[in-house]
C-alpha cells in the first residue's frame, strides 16, 4: 500500500538507516518484521505522525561487495524524507514513535550496529523509478582532506566518461551528509550514490562501472577503497507523498 499525491519537492532532507538484523535472524524474518509488520505500524500511525514522513522507502540487500571483509555487513537501507531535521526530531519525540514504533524495531534489528544519519539527495538526470528494478547503493568513504564538492566533481567526471556503459539505467541519485546535522549512530559514508537497474542481467555492467569508480578514486587519492562497498537491493515503498 502506497500513499500518493502530486507535489514535487526538491528541498527535502532524509534520515538514512543502514540496518543490521539481529544474530540468528533469517533474511525472510527480517523482511517480515521490518517491511510487513513494522511498515504496517507506520502506515497505520496517527495522522500527525504519519504525515510528517513525506516518503519512506526500504531497500533489502540480496547481494553485496565490500572493500574489506571486516566492514559491517548491511541487510537493509531505510530512507525517510522529512521537511527538516526539526520535523524528524519531532517525529522521534512523538508518543507513538516512543511507545510503539521504536520498541517494535528492537524485535528484529541489531540497533547497536545500525548506521543512522541525515542526508540530502540530488536526483541526477531523469527522475528515478523508485521501487522498480534493482536498486544499487554505492557507499563511498572520502579520503582525509577531500572536500565533499571535490568528491562530487570526481564522481560526475567518472560518470560522464564511463556511465554510458551502464545497461538499462532507470535512474541515478546522489546522497550527501547534511552539513551541520548530527550523526545519530555509527560511521556513515561521505557520499552514497543510488542506481536503479532494469534487472539482474544489468548487474555485470554496474560491477564494471563500480570498479572504475573505485580504481580511479583510489588512484586520485579521493576515496578510501577498503571502506567503500555496494549493495544490490530490491526497493519497497512504505509511504510516498512527493514526486518523483
**Mean local confidence (pLDDT), 173-181:** 95
**Mean local confidence (pLDDT), 113-134:** 92
End-to-end distance of the chain based on CA atoms, in angstroms?
17
Return the SS3 of 166.
Answer: coil
Q: Output the CA torsion 116→121→127→131 (10° steps).
A: 0
Alpha-carbon 214 to chain mean position: 19
Identify the band that residue 6 occupies on the pLDDT scale cut at 50, 70 and 90: very low
Task: Using alpha carbons, list the distances in angstroms from residue 128 to 35, 124, 135, 158.
Answer: 21, 9, 10, 20
- How do beta strands 191-197 and 115-123 pair? unpaired
**Mean local confidence (pLDDT), 67-93:** 95
Topology adopted by domain 13-240: Alpha-Beta Plaits (3.30.70)
Reply yes or no on whether the pLDDT at 7 is more than 80: no
List the Cα angle 15/44/130 in 5-degree steps.
45
Predicted confidence at residue 98, as pLDDT, reads: 95
**Mean local confidence (pLDDT), 203-207:** 97
Predicted confidence at residue 129, as pLDDT, reads: 86
Nearest to 137 by CA among 218, 78, 70, 219: 78
Quickly tell me which residue has 534520515 as its cell: 15
**Mean local confidence (pLDDT), 82-102:** 96
Identify the band that residue 127 occupies on the pLDDT scale cut at 50, 70 and 90: confident
Nearest to 96 by CA among 57, 41, 51, 52: 41
Predicted confidence at residue 99, as pLDDT, reads: 96
Cell numbers that stand for 169 in this block:
539505467
For the question of whether the overall pTM of this predicted structure is more than 0.85, the answer is yes
Amino acid at each position: 500500500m502506497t500513499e500518493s499525491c502530486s507535489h514535487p519537492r526538491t528541498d527535502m532532507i532524509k534520515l538514512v538507516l543502514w540496518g543490521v538484523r539481529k544474530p540468528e535472524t533469517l533474511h525472510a524474518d527480517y523482511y517480515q518484521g521490518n517491511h510487513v509488520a513494522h511498515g504496517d505500524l507506520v502506515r497505520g500511525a496517527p495522522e500527525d505522525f504519519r504525515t510528517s514522513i513525506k516518503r519512506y522507502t526500504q531497500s533489502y540487500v540480496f547481494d553485496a561487495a565490500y572493500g574489506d571483509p571486516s566492514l559491517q555487513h548491511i541487510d537493509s537501507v531505510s530512507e525517510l524524507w522529512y521537511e527538516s531535521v526539526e520535523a524528524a526530531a519531532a517525529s522521534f519525540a512523538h508518543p507513538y514513535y516512543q511507545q510503539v514504533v521504536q520498541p517494535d524495531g528492537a524485535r528484529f534489528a541489531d540497533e547497536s550496529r545500525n548506521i543512522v544519519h541525515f542526508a540530502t539527495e540530488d536526483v541526477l538526470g531523469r527522475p528515478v523509478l523508485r521501487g522498480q528494478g534493482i536498486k544499487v547503493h554505492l557507499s563511498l568513504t572520502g579520503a582525509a582532506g577531500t572536500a565533499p564538492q571535490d568528491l562530487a566533481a570526481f564522481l560526475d567526471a567518472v560518470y560522464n566518461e564511463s556511465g554510458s556503459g551502464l545497461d538499462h539505467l532507470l535512474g541515478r541519485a546522489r546522497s550527501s551528509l547534511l552539513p551541520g546535522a548530527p550523526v545519530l549512530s555509527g560511521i556513515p559514508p561521505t557520499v552514497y550514490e543510488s542506481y536503479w537497474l532494469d534487472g539482474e542481467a544489468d548487474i555485470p555492467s554496474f560491477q564494471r562501472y563500480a570498479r572504475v569508480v573505485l580504481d580511479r578514486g583510489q588512484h586520485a587519492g579521493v576515496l578510501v577503497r577498503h571502506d567503500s562497498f555496494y549493495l544490490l537491493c530490491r526497493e519497497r515503498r512504505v509511504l510516498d507523498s512527493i514526486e518523483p
